[in-house]
A = this chain, B = another copy of it.
Amino acid sequence: MNLILIAIGCGLIAVLYGLFTSRQVLNAPAGNQRMIEVAGAIQEGASAYLRRQYTTIGMVGVAVAILVGIFLGPVQAAGFVLGSLLSGAAGFIGMNISVRANVRTAEAARTSLQGGLTIAFRSGAITGMLVAGLALLAISTFFYYLVDVRGLAPNDRGVTDALVALAFGASLISIFARLGGGIFTKAADVGADLVGKVEAGIPEDDPRNPAVIADNVGDNVGDCAGMAADLFETYVVTVGATMVLIALLVGGTPLHVGGLMTLPLLIGGVCIITSIIGTYFVRLGKSGSIMGALYKGFWVTALLSVPAIYFVTQLVLGDLNASVGGEPAGLDVGAQAKVGEFTGAFTGWDLFYSMLVGLAVTGLLVWITEYYTGTSYRPVKSIAKSSQTGHGTNVIQGLAISLESTALPTLVICVGIIVSYQLAGLIGIAFAATAMLALAGMVVALDAYGPVTDNAGGIAEMAGLEDDVRTRTDALDAVGNTTKAVTKGYAIGSAGLGALVLFAAYTTDLRTFAGDLGVAYADINFTLANPYVIVGLLLGALLPYLFGAMGMTAVGRAGGAVVEEVRGQFRDNPGIMEGSVRPNYARTVDLVTRAAIKEMIIPSLLPVFTPIVVFFVIRMVAGTENAFASLGAVLIGVIVSGLFVAISMTSGGGAWDNAKKYIEDGNYGGKGSEAHKAAVTGDTVGDPYKDTAGPAVNPMIKITNIVALLLLAALAGHGAG
């Protein structure tokens, strides 16, 4: 039997799980009339935003698809379109479930905490399994079509270019969705808070605030749809790049290489099954710890994945002790095989251990993020404590924690790189990254749970439900802050490994097709002693900073527009504050929609055009070889700097948010105290950090890398093939 079909089967199971579980969620009671009304407004706003966002992205997408078709060929263009459509679908479906689960979670929370947790987590799990399932289906069916239907050799140039184009489609949608959604959610959030909490003195989610629906819409389009597109992209790029690297690097017959290329797909497939099993373990224990319940699901999935991965590796490779072949001995990186270092060939066991490294890295990153963003540990407590002496010290301590939070993840990633490289070279690193992403279904489930509970709290407030409902949804929501940070740390951490794989694909591609590109590979100097490499590193490192600046500014500008809109509604219609007149929610949603769409375009195109501009400018001044060297350095520069920018922003932002929650739990004076006001400032600062600029760095890194690969393909004239 063709092994790819197993992977396709697992992808279909994920989709079936989604359908089956959606039915369960949708069958739950949706609450009273007022709740249904509020939820309806959120649904409407979210759909309207996503429609406009996808229309805009669609226009960019069509243009890019045509360019891909012209420069690379129709199959590549088809890959691009497939990647885009499924990425969009993952976000769209996730958002659709999320906007229906929110009100049902609120209703269930009227009865019990477990009831609310069940609905919210199931809704998250649907998004999670759809993200992983659709991503796996995209790659495996496309690969199946190319190899088994079209009859191309698995390591044929047409196949690898098509896989890269598929990843490009996913990434391009993802950066728009992450950034557009991120700007929407934070502009609405910051705007609503500033004018509501600060100026008008009304509580969060008060129905009198005209921005309150926009704020709740934001949770769905940013934290749910944007995040889903992001993880879809990360999955497709990582698994796809692993397959491309195998095709480019591993010697042997096409049949042999093809077998190894299906392994990442099967790993993804079985881990969807272990993720589904894991979801059934998410239950409150005796301690009543919500985080504990979620982690139970995660750890069950991670542990079950070990034998599952062993099983499929055995299935694909047969004897795990036999040499799998391996990277060609003449490879740059294998040139100096030394004590304890990778020597060019590896066995099935080496691959298996590399994947265990990937799982261990995932577990450690989850644990570290929990430490930096959870309310039980030093970092968050230190920010809460420093809030006592004012806004300034809160922000200073938050920035210190955000800088510090990069240290342990970096060390873990470095150790992961070294160990997996020593086991099986670049292929080892690629499989470690694949194993990380194989858990995506479960990780996304944990994350997508967050916006549902956040919305549930909002609906409870707006519909005037009993206080203990809000208490229960708040408890669910606090955990959501940490799980959201966890996903971001995980995504960027996997990017750390994934970028190395992409860079290896870039250099291997260059070596293989140097002739077509009109250069001698030996003349391309990738050493740090080449000033053009340093220039590339600096320019690459600049990207996350510039991108971050644009994202932060966009939120500030759009948030300011919300403030003015809301002030205007209060002024023109005094009945709103008295509670006698319903504010015009839709107008605010529409305003934020237009602002977010406008603001997302330019920053999203930055990583698309930078590699192209760098290549052609350096080629002009210093020749083609140095242009390739400089471009390669841009790819490494963007990850080296992006890793730190992204981790510091996402962990720091999560820590600020939970420091506020920690004070609201009654520490340092509790709600309304001066410390609380300072903590609200920190939270506001952390918002665009953690939900707009920080997470969008991950797709940005990938796009830069993929555009470079496509540029190579276009320059080498693969379009003919």
Q: Give the docked Cα–Cα distance between A533 and B632 (Å).
A: 14
**For residue A410, which residues in chain B have a CB less than 8 angstroms away from its CB?**
538-539, 541-542
A99 to chain B, nearest CB (A): 28
Provide the A417-452 mask, 1 if CB < 8 A to any CB of B, else 0: 110011000100100000000000000000000000
The answer on a CB contact under 8 Å between A636 and B393 is no
| Stretch from A13-21, A156-164, A384-392 forming part of the interface with B | A384-392
- In the complex formed, the residue of B with least CB distance to A385 is B560
Kindly identify which residue among B523, B538, B644, B683 contacts A643, using a CB–CB cutoff of 8 Å.
B538
A553: CB under 8 A from chain B? yes
The answer on a CB contact under 8 Å between A526 and B523 is no
- In the complex formed, the residue of B with least CB distance to A402 is B549
**For residue A404, which residues in chain B have a CB less than 8 angstroms away from its CB?**
545-546, 549-550, 553
Known contacts A538-B640, A542-B407, A623-B339: A529-B507 contact under CB 8 Å: yes
**For residue A43, which residues in chain B have a CB less than 8 angstroms away from its CB?**
none
**For residue A418, which residues in chain B have a CB less than 8 angstroms away from its CB?**
531-532, 535, 621-622
The answer on a CB contact under 8 Å between B340 and A396 is no
Interface positions of A from 538 to 574, Cβ below 8 Å from B:
538-539, 541-542, 545-546, 548-550, 552-553, 555-556, 559-560, 563
Q: Give the docked Cα–Cα distance between A559 and B403 (Å).
A: 19
Q: Give the docked Cα–Cα distance between A542 and B397 (Å).
A: 18
Q: Give the docked Cα–Cα distance between A533 and B528 (Å).
A: 9
**For residue A503, which residues in chain B have a CB less than 8 angstroms away from its CB?**
528-529
**For residue A560, which residues in chain B have a CB less than 8 angstroms away from its CB?**
386, 389, 393
A637: CB under 8 A from chain B? yes
Known contacts A194-B392, A636-B534: A407-B546 contact under CB 8 Å: yes
Provide the A613-628 mask, 1 if CB < 8 A to any CB of B, else 0: 0000000011111100
Q: Give the docked Cα–Cα distance between A399 and B685 (Å).
A: 9
Known contacts A529-B507, A537-B636, A637-B640: A393-B559 contact under CB 8 Å: yes
**For residue A621, which residues in chain B have a CB less than 8 angstroms away from its CB?**
340, 418, 422
Provide the A341-354 mask, 1 if CB < 8 A to any CB of B, else 0: 10000000000000
The answer on a CB contact under 8 Å between A525 and B340 is no
**For residue A414, which residues in chain B have a CB less than 8 angstroms away from its CB?**
535, 538-539
A374 to chain B, nearest CB (A): 18
**For residue A392, which residues in chain B have a CB less than 8 angstroms away from its CB?**
190, 193-194, 680-681, 683-685
**For residue A341, which residues in chain B have a CB less than 8 angstroms away from its CB?**
622-623, 626
Q: Give the docked Cα–Cα distance between A403 and B399 (Å).
A: 13
| Stretch from A138-146, A328-336, A464-472 forming part of the interface with B | A328-336
Q: How many copies does the complex hold?
A: 2
Q: Give the docked Cα–Cα distance between A418 and B194 (Å).
A: 47
Q: Give the docked Cα–Cα distance between A461 and B65 (Å).
A: 67
Interface residues on A, range: 35 or more
A395: CB under 8 A from chain B? yes
The answer on a CB contact under 8 Å between A389 and B563 is yes
A641: CB under 8 A from chain B? yes
The answer on a CB contact under 8 Å between B539 and A336 is no
Q: Give the docked Cα–Cα distance between A20 and B378 (Å).
A: 55
A700: CB under 8 A from chain B? no
A67: CB under 8 A from chain B? no
Q: Give the docked Cα–Cα distance between A406 and B547 (Å).
A: 11
The answer on a CB contact under 8 Å between B529 and A403 is no
The answer on a CB contact under 8 Å between B625 and A531 is no
The answer on a CB contact under 8 Å between B336 and A626 is yes
**For residue A496, which residues in chain B have a CB less than 8 angstroms away from its CB?**
538
Q: Give the docked Cα–Cα distance between A621 and B528 (Å).
A: 22
A530: CB under 8 A from chain B? yes
A320 to chain B, nearest CB (A): 24
Q: Give the docked Cα–Cα distance between A643 and B535 (Å).
A: 13
**For residue A422, which residues in chain B have a CB less than 8 angstroms away from its CB?**
621-622
**For residue A680, which residues in chain B have a CB less than 8 angstroms away from its CB?**
392
Q: Give the docked Cα–Cα distance between A560 and B684 (Å).
A: 23
A497 to chain B, nearest CB (A): 10
The answer on a CB contact under 8 Å between B545 and A406 is yes
Q: Give the docked Cα–Cα distance between A542 and B685 (Å).
A: 23
A648: CB under 8 A from chain B? yes
The answer on a CB contact under 8 Å between A685 and B396 is yes
A612: CB under 8 A from chain B? no
Q: Give the docked Cα–Cα distance between A245 and B628 (Å).
A: 27
A271: CB under 8 A from chain B? no
A198: CB under 8 A from chain B? yes
- In the complex formed, the residue of B with least CB distance to A617 is B418
Q: Among A336, A397, A503, find the residue whose CB has the most chain B CB atoms closer than 10 A.
A: A336
Interface positions of A from 180 to 224, Cβ below 8 Å from B:
190, 193-194, 198
**For residue A553, which residues in chain B have a CB less than 8 angstroms away from its CB?**
397, 400, 404
Q: Give the docked Cα–Cα distance between A684 and B683 (Å).
A: 17
Interface positions of A from 304 to 341, Cβ below 8 Å from B:
332-333, 335-336, 338-341
The answer on a CB contact under 8 Å between A396 and B555 is yes
A7: CB under 8 A from chain B? no
A373 to chain B, nearest CB (A): 16
Kindly identify which residue among B332, B393, B531, B623 contacts A417, using a CB–CB cutoff of 8 Å.
B531
- In the complex formed, the residue of B with least CB distance to A414 is B535
**For residue A399, which residues in chain B have a CB less than 8 angstroms away from its CB?**
552, 685, 689
Q: Give the docked Cα–Cα distance between A535 and B641 (Å).
A: 13
Interface residues of chain A, those whose CB is within 8 Å of chain B, are 190, 193-194, 198, 332-333, 335-336, 338-341, 386, 389-393, 395-397, 399-401, 403-404, 406-407, 410-411, 413-414, 417-418, 421-422, 426, 429, 496, 500, 503-504, 507, 523-535, 537-539, 541-542, 545-546, 548-550, 552-553, 555-556, 559-560, 563, 621-626, 632-633, 636-637, 640-641, 643-644, 648, 680-681, 683-685, 688-689
8 A–B contact pairs at CB < 8 A? A392-B684, A399-B552, A406-B542, A406-B545, A417-B534, A422-B622, A503-B528, A526-B527
Give 13 A-B pairs besides A190-B392, A340-B623 with Cβ atoms closer than 8 angstroms.
Answer: A391-B684, A392-B685, A395-B685, A396-B684, A400-B549, A404-B549, A496-B538, A503-B529, A526-B528, A526-B529, A538-B640, A538-B643, A545-B644
